[in-house]
Amino acid sequence: MGFLKEILIAKKKELGSIKAGLTRNGSMGYGKNTGAISPEKGFTGNISPGRVNIIAEIKKASPSKGS
């Protein structure tokens, strides 16, 4: 089997796992089961002690570089 074909097969399997909500090591990753916030609880209801809570903002460009 060619090298590129092996990569293609591996990537298809990886994509299937990601779509199923699992990463290569079996932990939660991208997909439907990522633990998205619940709109019923609101912001403070979704932040809880005892687990990692990440608040992030993704921007297209740096303010110093302009938009």
pLDDT at 49 (0 to 100): 80
Per-residue pLDDT reduced to its tens digit, 17-66: 777 765 555 555 444 445 555 666 777 777 778 888 888 888 777 777 66
Give yes or no for residue 12 having a pLDDT over 80: yes
Q: What is the pTM of this model?
A: 0.32
Domain boundaries, the chain: 3-59
CA distance 66 to 59: 11
Which residues fall within 8 angstroms of residue 56, CB to CB, at 6 or more apart? none
Give residue 29's pLDDT: 47
Instruction: State how far the Cα of 43 lies from the Cα of 14, in Å rounded to an integer.
Output: 32
